[in-house]
Amino acid sequence: MRLSAPLFRLKRQARLLSREKGIPLNKALDHIAAAEGFRSWSQLAARVGRESRPAAGIFRQLEPGDMLLLGARPGQGKTLLGLGLLLEAAKAGRSGTFFTLDYHEADVARSVAFLADGEAAANAFALDTSDDICAAHVIATLEKSPRGTLSVIDYLQLLDQRRTNPEINAQIRDLKRFAVSSGQILVLISQIDRAFDRRGGGMPGLADVRQPNPVDLTLFTKACFLHDGEARLDSLKAA
């Protein structure tokens, strides 16, 4: 794959187009991606990411009991990377579940088929699209799963959208205790605040995580951030 310009320059073109045409940034990104021969910006970003094989490298650095924060702005491929981690776990003979409050089954099937290059991956992991997804639901679903199981939750900021669910910080503490006690690996996809785009340049970090309700991010053992086709994995001090 050869792009007409580096990814960061294409992103800059999209920002200019967004301002000039008065259209949302995600629409401008998709327009730029279409000119490069892709259906959407997320597909373009995922192709760039897949060629650098970030999922395989990140998976090798995850250990039983880890809780990974996976953050990026829209269109950077964070959900695709989460699915890629599940596929890597399946290759290693481990089970896993994709818990999503955002995607439908058809969306996941298309993404998996794209990531797997048409390989049979339909049964690589379990899929849970229940509206009841919260920490208690995740723990109840995974409590009998073996050590080393890797599961992805899509996404952090939606866990307490129901008023009947506990506050987000309490849920993250429960998930942390479960990960440590069970030896399972939990990956939580996270939004990045829009202020990051206004700041421009660089890679997002913990300070850029969108927190409509406060979250103690030190509960995570690792954090992975994506931007302009690059991925950075950081080890965090455990709480």
- 129 CB-near residues (< 8 Å, 6+ apart): 100, 101, 103, 104, 105
Task: Give the tens place of pLDDT for each residue, 112-139.
Answer: 877 775 555 668 999 999 999 999 999 9
* Strand ranges across the sheet with 150-154: 126-128, 96-100, 150-154, 185-191, 67-72, 222-227, 230-235
Residue 187's pLDDT band (boundaries 50, 70, 90)? Answer: very high
Give pLDDT tens digits for 208-230. Answer: 999 999 999 999 999 999 987 78
- Looking at per-residue pLDDT, the higher value among 161 and 179 belongs to 179
Amino acid making up residue 52: S
Please give the backbone phi and psi of residue 144, each rounded to the nearest 5 degrees, phi first.
-100, 5
Which CATH superfamily does the domain covering 54-235 fall into?
Answer: P-loop containing nucleotide triphosphate hydrolases (3.40.50.300)
Residue 120 confidence (pLDDT) = 52
Question: How many Å separate Cα 109 from the centre of its chain?
Answer: 16
**Which 8-state DSSP code applies to residue 192?**
B
Q: Is the pLDDT reported for residue 233 higher than 80?
A: yes
Burial tier of 156 (Cβ tally within 10 Å: 0-12, 13-18, 19+): buried
| Higher per-residue pLDDT: 180 or 77 | 180
Can you give the residue ranges of every domain in the chain? 7-39, 54-235
Q: Exposed/middle/buried for 1, CB within 10 Å: 0-12, 13-18, 19+?
A: exposed
**Alpha-carbon span 57 to 191, nearest angstrom:** 22
**Alpha-carbon gap, residue 16 to 135, rounded angstroms:** 40
The residue type found at 147 is R
DSSP 222: E
Check residue 239 and give its pLDDT. 47
User: Which tokens sit at 113?
Assistant: 């088929």
**In 3D, which of 94, 73, 76 has the Cα closest to residue 85?**
94
pTM for the full model? 0.81
